Amino acid sequence: MNGEALDDNPHSAPGPISVVVVNFDGAQHLPHCLESVFAQTLVPDEVLLVDNASKDGSERAACDRYPSLRLIRLASNEGPCPARNAGLAAARNPWVLLLDNDAVLLPETLELLARAAELHPSAAVLQPRSVFASEPSRVHYDGGSLHYVGLFSLRNFYVPLAEAAGKGTLEVGGAVSVALLVRREPLLALGGFDPAFFILFEDLDLSLRLRAAGHAIFSVEDALVHHRGGTQGISFRSGPDYPSSRAFFHARNRWFVLLKNYSWSTLIASLPGFAIYELVWFCFALSNGSLIAHLRGKWAFLRALPTTLRSRRSVQRSRLIPDRELLVGGPLTITPGLKSSGLRGLVLAALDRSLTLWWRVARRFAG
């Protein structure tokens, strides 16, 4: 993607930056996150801690250690989406760094993100390159493209940092919400993060809405963040066990993304691709013991249809860019723990190839 053509938009340079850290029972991660925030070479103008009704006292310990923290306590844990939105609404600056509590910044990360924002004024979101805290020589998230079956086609996923493609600041299709420098105005104008998702796919949904409304998203390759343990019960990095809660949200939220964001012509043209993907994922859920959670997710999606269709009308009113310019047909991103050289590997390779081939047909009819 070429981001330079859009960089004549009259948005202001970052100036003072607010930092919003979202926390839920973060005693294990939050101290590391906040220590990195207060050690930035570019000093944040303010740091807000939005707490999702933690029960471990992590928010109190943080405020005791850092008296300058602005604490926003939410009454219940409704996931990171309402917490991020509350932080965006309360922040006093146009630019906000949104952080999950398991993100640890390198000292110059915020400065590098701010510098990239100055050079690319079309940006609504800038993402640092996320590496594993347990293995900082390997990339975890680095932005990606928007796969038409409702997934991220991730860049440099699990690739050794020394071999990762891309340098400088690159325009990407979407960003993963470990750490994001964002302009408040376009996010709030589009409703921010959708609370209906609770967790998982909410960043894909936001990326699609921003891109469809004509905003740009960038990955800043030399700005690094160490990603620690992930969300307990949701995060999946390796091994054969796939959390049932993740299976539920995957089954439900992926269809939230599709129905909310795609034109009707794109949905109809993509149906064969959707069907192939659903069949393979049904078999995967059956094989790993998460079928009940998978089916519960589909039922939850159907029950939420009226609400999703209302959200769809709002999204489509803000659309400026057609799906065919936003979506790609592959490659399909597979977590290494799910890959194998046996039958599963052959099935996944065939799935990827089939989806790519069908998009060549469907793209002609996409809205």
The amino acid occupying position 257 is: V
Residues of the chain by 3-state class (helix, strand, coil), percent to 5: 45, 20, 35
pLDDT at 139: 97
Kindly report the backbone phi and psi dihedral angles of residue 169, in degrees, each rounded to the nearest multiple of 5, phi listed first: -115, 120
pLDDT at 4: 37
Where in the chain is CATH 3.90.550.10? 4-227
Q: Is 300 exposed, middle or buried (0-12, 13-18, 19+ CB in 10 A)?
A: middle
pLDDT at 235: 62
Grouped pLDDT means (10 residues each) for the chain, 367 residues? 40 83 96 98 98 97 97 97 98 98 98 97 97 96 97 96 95 97 97 96 98 98 92 57 87 98 98 97 92 97 98 95 97 78 83 97 96
pLDDT at 169: 97
SS (H, E, C) 281-344: HHHHHHHHCCHHHHHHHHHHHHHCHHHHHHHHHHHHHCCCCCHHHHEECCCCCCCHHHCCCCHH
Q: Distance between the two ends of the chain, CA-based, in angstroms?
A: 20
pLDDT at 211: 98
Number of neighbours of residue 269 by Cβ within 10 angstroms: 23
Q: Helix (H, G, I), strand (E, B), or coil: what is residue 244? A: helix
3.40.50.300, 3.65.10.10, 3.90.550.10, 3.40.50.720: CATH of 4-227: 3.90.550.10
**What is the phi-psi region of residue 105: left when phi exceeds 0, alpha when psi lies from -120 to 50, beta otherwise?**
beta
pLDDT at 168: 94
Number of neighbours of residue 260 by Cβ within 10 angstroms: 21
Identify the CA nearest to 48 among candidates 12, 17, 15.
17
pLDDT at 240: 53
pLDDT at 229: 79
pLDDT at 3: 39
> How far is residue 310's CA from residue 305's CA, in Å, rounded to a whole number?
9
Q: Helix (H, G, I), strand (E, B), or coil: what is residue 345? A: helix
- The mean predicted confidence, pLDDT, of the chain is 93
- Do β-strands 151-154 and 144-147 pair in parallel, antiparallel, or remain unpaired? antiparallel
Give the pLDDT confidence of 283-340 residue by residue, as tens digits. Answer: 989 988 999 999 999 999 999 999 999 999 999 999 999 999 999 999 999 877 666 6
Identify the CA nearest to 4 among candidates 113, 118, 119, 114.
119
